[in-house]
């Protein structure tokens, strides 16, 4: 299937005049949302633009982890001049399509001098120290069997790779399924050049103190740049959140009834879906009347309704 990414790129002034802005998506590749403000890439591009504002357009060495379809890289190569770039995904068979999408949508003068494509988990296959590492990786842990379906690695991740990072059964990072994010951050920290940073996206379905603990255990200082309210993508996997909630969390993941959340935002003068200019704390308070647990969200989805969530873009650097 071929899809246009022009509306998404245009939102960030990155649409091309010479390229088609179309990508090919195979069955195991993350899709592109019809409404670009519902796409995680909208949050990614907001964070990447913020980085350019703060640090300028030159990046010597970068890694894009779990690229999925190449669109994150296509946009980054229009934003930055990157000397060496490694692009990864954990699913080997999608790497050729990711590469083709990037090459088909990038003018030759924007291509990095060194560009490589590798398969692997987190930053393990990254061959050099990086000034920027970008990732938007799944959080919810599931068994190997559940990960066999086509789109599963977009939303779910292999518990056997991360459970070892839990320090006890009541580890909050186990409770909120943040061990995969911790695993990623630990691997990223090892591959950062002095002065380098990580941009990582995390769904706001979990408490603030759990997020802070995750960065702290990775030995990283962090700041949140982007806060967005958007539709839960791949809604079939809300069920996995509900299962995880029942088994480990014993509290609630935070989803929202989409129609109710959109109504609240409209009354306050915000668009839905959108990136908002208020803090995550304020947004959670505002949206509280529309809140759902994962189990309630699962029921709403099975009744044919949509559910929403908060999504965050973070920039992290190793603690001094
Ligand atoms: C949510 S999609 C990310 C899409 C896109 N890069 C973005 O920024 O929105 C996650 C992608 O990462 C891959 N992935 C999942 N876990 C991974 C891991 N631990 N290391 C590398 N890639 C991973 C998945 O196969 C999927 O293609």
The residue contributing the CA closest to ligand 1 atom 5 is: 67
pLDDT band at 248 (very low <50, low <70, confident <90, very high): confident
Measured from the CB, is residue 139 less than 6 Å from ligand 1?
A: no
Contacts (Cβ under 8 Å, ≥6 apart) of 300: 257, 292, 306, 307
pLDDT of residue 143: 75
User: What sign does the CA torsion over 108, 110, 111, 114 have?
Assistant: positive
pLDDT of residue 240: 87
For 164-194, what is each residue's pLDDT tens digit? Answer: 999 998 999 999 999 999 999 999 999 999 9
Please count the helices (runs of H) and the strands (runs of E) in the chain: 13, 14
138 Cα: distance to centroid of ligand 1 (angstroms) = 7
Q: What ranges make up the beta strands (E) of the chain?
A: 2-4, 22-24, 58-65, 81-89, 114-119, 130-135, 140-142, 156-158, 192-203, 220-231, 255-257, 274-276, 291-292, 307-318
Q: Which of the residue ranges 42-56, 80-94, 236-250, 299-313 would you say has the lowest mean pLDDT?
A: 236-250
Higher pLDDT, residue 222 or 27? 222
For 81-114, what is each residue's pLDDT tens digit? Answer: 999 999 999 999 999 999 999 999 999 999 999 9
Kindly tell me if the per-residue pLDDT of 17 is higher than 70: yes
Q: What is the pTM of this model?
A: 0.96
pLDDT band at 149 (very low <50, low <70, confident <90, very high): low
185 Cα: distance to centroid of ligand 1 (angstroms) = 14
Task: State the closest ligand 1 atom to the C-alpha of 29, by its place in the atom list counted from 1.
Answer: 27
pLDDT of residue 233: 84
For 251-291, what is each residue's pLDDT tens digit? Answer: 899 999 999 999 999 999 999 999 999 999 999 999 999 99
Q: Does domain 2-227+311-318 have CATH number 3.30.413.10?
A: no
Measured from the CB, is residue 67 less than 6 Å from ligand 1?
A: yes
In percent, the amount of the chain with pLDDT more than 70 equals 98
275 Cα: distance to centroid of ligand 1 (angstroms) = 22
CA 287/CA 262 separation, integer angstroms: 9
């Amino acid at each position: 299937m071929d899809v246009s990414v022009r509306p998404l790129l245009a939102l960030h002034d990155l649409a091309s005049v010479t390229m088609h802005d179309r990508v090919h998506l195979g069955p195991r590749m993350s899709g592109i949302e019809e409404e670009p403000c519902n796409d995680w890439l909208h949050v990614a591009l907001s964070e990447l633009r913020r980085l350019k504002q703060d640090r300028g357009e030159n990046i010597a060495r970068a890694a894009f982890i779990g690229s999925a379809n190449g669109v994150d890289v296509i946009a980054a190569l229009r934003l930055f001049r990157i000397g060496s770039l490694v692009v990864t995904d954990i699913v080997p068979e999608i790497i050729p399509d990711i590469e083709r999408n990037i090459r088909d949508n990038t003018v030759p003068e924007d291509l990095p001098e060194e560009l490589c494509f590798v398969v692997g988990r987190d930053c393990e296959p990254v061959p050099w120290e990086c000034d920027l590492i970008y990732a938007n990786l799944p959080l919810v842990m599931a068994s190997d069997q559940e990960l066999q379906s086509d789109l599963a690695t977009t939303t779910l991740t292999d518990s056997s790779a991360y459970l070892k990072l839990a320090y006890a059964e009541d580890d909050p990072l186990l409770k909120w399924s943040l061990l995969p994010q911790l695993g990623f951050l630990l691997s990223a920290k090892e591959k950062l050049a002095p002065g380098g940073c990580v941009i990582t996206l995390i769904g706001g379905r979990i408490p603030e103190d759990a997020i802070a603990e995750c960065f702290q255990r990775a030995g990283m200082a962090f700041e949140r740049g982007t806060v967005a309210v958007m539709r839960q993508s791949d809604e079939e996997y809300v069920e996995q959140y509900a299962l995880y909630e029942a088994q480990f969390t014993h509290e609630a993941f935070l989803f929202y009834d989409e129609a109710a959340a959109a109504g609240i935002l409209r009354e306050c003068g915000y668009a839905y879906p959108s990136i908002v200019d208020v803090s995550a704390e304020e947004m959670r308070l505002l949206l509280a009347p529309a809140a759902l647990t994962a189990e309630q969200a699962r029921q709403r989805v099975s009744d044919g309704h949509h559910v929403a969530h908060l999504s965050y873009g973070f920039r992290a650097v190793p603690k001094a």
